[in-house]
Chain A
Amino acid sequence: MDRLAFLLATGLARGLVIALFALSLVIIWRAARIVNFAQAAMAIVAVYVAFAVTQATGSFWLGLAAALVTGALVGAVVERWLIRLVPSGTPLPGMIVAIGLVMILQSAISIIFGPKHRPMAAPFSEQPFTVGGVAVLSPYDLFILLVALGVVAALGLLFNGTTLGLQMRASAMAPEVSRLLGVRVPRMITLGWMLSSGVAALAVLLLVPTELGLNAHSADILFVHAFTVAVLGGLDSPSGALVGGIVVGILISLVTGFLGAGLAPIAVLVLLTVVLLVRPGGIFAAKEARTA
């Protein structure tokens, strides 16, 4: 019973990081109708910058700010000078270019920094609190929880409560009509990329202290899990990403705890297969609204 409670709590914290990364995939899908396969590699670049800033200043918070800013900049650069040049009639060229970008970024990082894992310290203790003799969330897990909920709330406010969000939604759904209404659609798409890769960088930054350390491939598994979550929740649904992330996080935690770590990736893929068979649009996907 104690073990179950502990596994559930760990799964929740791990799931929130996955949810945050999945949310970044949802943002870019909503802003530009593209699945960005380079999301993890781009985020790793930003986290290396954050790592350097934290090393130089000793402050985790400056590193966090650096990750957000660099993440957003990388997103803008990739959109403006790479993806915009790719023909956008079909999704395939964009995907291939993104996969190529992953290879270039990961090789470049490995060449510059080597293959070794660089440990990153969490800003809060990772020792779990015990409640009634049962180990539950650590302070760092609580921090992740607050950050994830804060990001979800802020994004909800941006998309549904501001005119910028209105323009971003319109640009994604009806680019030509939006241009005819004076919306600067290319700018909105760049902003969507910046927002998305900023959130992705944040998710990876939160993940790294709980893992082995920072390496060119630190976020690969996170991307696979988050992609599962995005499909699970529907690429269009922020709340789907949040709930899906927690479900996958807890699934991984339970399978690892009770059946062994080797089975966890298989469990995630089984879940993905089942969802694709039963509800290919995702569990939380809205009914297809667009007919024209």
Chain B
Amino acid sequence: MTTPTETPASTTTRTMLAVDGLTVGYAGAPVIDGMRLEVPHGAVVALLGANGAGKTTLLRTISGLVPPRAGRIELDGQDLSALSVEDRVRQGLAQVPEGRSVVSELTVEENLHLGALWKIPGRAARRDAVAEVYETFEPLARRRRSMGHQLSGGERQMLALARALVARPRVLLLDEPSLGLAPRVVAQLFSILRDTAGRTGLTVLLAEQNVTSALSIADRGVVLGLGEIVADAPAAEIAADPALRHAYLGF
């Protein structure tokens, strides 16, 4: 995929996901206006902002569910504009949409196999990949025969995350994984996320309302306000800036 000769000795700063001049609007005033954002390889970036700031729209545009009005989206230097949602997935882009996107009528095991299908067509190899995921997500292993709708909220979010990871994506987009979950469950999910990113070099763009938790695992925080980036700084700096917190994050 990548040619190391092109980027000599700069693997740490290689841009994995880039958005440039991105403008998105459903009708009327744009939800996202001329946005520019670069996420380096292996970084965990928290995408923060109040309701309506454009976090979900940005993620849905990157994954291809929402067509942009203008601008470029690049994954590891490759322009994604012409690719469908399904083909962007095949380039290594995974998204866990908002609201515990488990397929309720399928079992845990079927959900996981579905996530791995495009990458690992062989049944035996796929079973191995799913077994590996069960090791990371132990609670799911005990519920592998349960239907999606029988799971608790935390288990569903865990399944959604596991299902995105089973195909070993290069970039993971997460939309409010903490929504409606108990703090302990959020901590567990986020620590798995942090571990996986550290271990595999996964690049993560994490949209969150739960600012403290998100910043605690992120390298960098990006704050959105009405479709524009109003702050982009190391996570610790954002967490320590009371003016910023007041103005855009509401606490």
State the A residues within 8 Å of B (CB). Answer: 163, 166-167, 169-170, 173-174, 176-185, 289-292
Tell me which residues from 102 to 124 in chain B have a Cβ below 8 Å from any Cβ of chain A.
Answer: 102-106, 110, 113-115, 117-119, 121, 123
* 10 pairs of residues in contact across A and B, judged by CB atoms under 8 Å: A166-B114, A169-B105, A176-B97, A177-B97, A177-B103, A179-B86, A181-B118, A290-B104, A292-B100, A292-B104
- Would you call A166 and B113 a contact (CB within 8 A)? yes
A contact residues around B97 at 8 Å (CB): 176-177, 180
A173 in contact with B86 given A166-B113, A183-B114, A183-B117 (CB within 8 Å): no
Q: Which of A167, A184, A289 contacts B114 (CB 8 A)?
A: A167
3 smallest CB-CB distances across A and B, nearest first, come from: A182-B118, A182-B89, A179-B85
Bound CA–CA A170/B106 (angstroms): 8
State the B residues within 8 Å of A (CB). Answer: 63, 65, 85-86, 89-90, 94-95, 97, 99-106, 110, 113-115, 117-119, 121, 123, 147, 149, 163, 167
A126 to chain B, nearest CB (A): 42
Complex: chain A residue closest to B94, CB-CB: A180
A contact residues around B86 at 8 Å (CB): 179, 182-185
B90 to chain A, nearest CB (A): 6
- Would you call B147 and A289 a contact (CB within 8 A)? yes
- Would you call A292 and B99 a contact (CB within 8 A)? yes
- Would you call A170 and B90 a contact (CB within 8 A)? no
Known: A163-B113, A178-B103. 14 other contacts (CB 8 A): A166-B106, A166-B117, A167-B117, A170-B110, A177-B101, A180-B85, A181-B117, A182-B89, A182-B117, A182-B118, A182-B167, A185-B86, A289-B149, A290-B104
B contact residues around A183 at 8 Å (CB): 86, 114, 117-118
- Would you call A170 and B104 a contact (CB within 8 A)? no
B contact residues around A166 at 8 Å (CB): 106, 110, 113-114, 117
B contact residues around A174 at 8 Å (CB): 101, 103-104
Bound CA–CA A182/B95 (angstroms): 11
B contact residues around A163 at 8 Å (CB): 113, 117, 121, 123
B95 to chain A, nearest CB (A): 5
Complex: chain A residue closest to B105, CB-CB: A173
B84 to chain A, nearest CB (A): 8
Bound CA–CA A138/B167 (angstroms): 54
A173 in contact with B104 given A180-B89, A182-B89, A182-B90 (CB within 8 Å): yes
B contact residues around A170 at 8 Å (CB): 103, 106, 110, 114
B176 to chain A, nearest CB (A): 14
- Would you call A178 and B104 a contact (CB within 8 A)? no
A284 to chain B, nearest CB (A): 16
Complex: chain A residue closest to B123, CB-CB: A163
Complex: chain B residue closest to A236, CB-CB: B105
- Would you call B113 and A289 a contact (CB within 8 A)? no
- Would you call A173 and B117 a contact (CB within 8 A)? no
B118 to chain A, nearest CB (A): 4
- Would you call A173 and B101 a contact (CB within 8 A)? no
Complex: chain B residue closest to A172, CB-CB: B105
B26 to chain A, nearest CB (A): 15
- Would you call B101 and A169 a contact (CB within 8 A)? no
Complex: chain A residue closest to B126, CB-CB: A163
A contact residues around B114 at 8 Å (CB): 166-167, 170, 178, 181, 183
The interface centre, meaning the residue of B86, B89, B121 with most chain A CB atoms within 10 A of its CB, is B86
Complex: chain A residue closest to B96, CB-CB: A180
Bound CA–CA A184/B86 (angstroms): 6
Bound CA–CA A176/B138 (angstroms): 27
Complex: chain B residue closest to A292, CB-CB: B99
B contact residues around A169 at 8 Å (CB): 105-106
Bound CA–CA A178/B163 (angstroms): 11
B155 to chain A, nearest CB (A): 14
- Would you call A290 and B149 a contact (CB within 8 A)? yes
A contact residues around B94 at 8 Å (CB): 180
A88 to chain B, nearest CB (A): 16
- Would you call B105 and A290 a contact (CB within 8 A)? yes
- Would you call A291 and B105 a contact (CB within 8 A)? no
Bound CA–CA A184/B83 (angstroms): 13
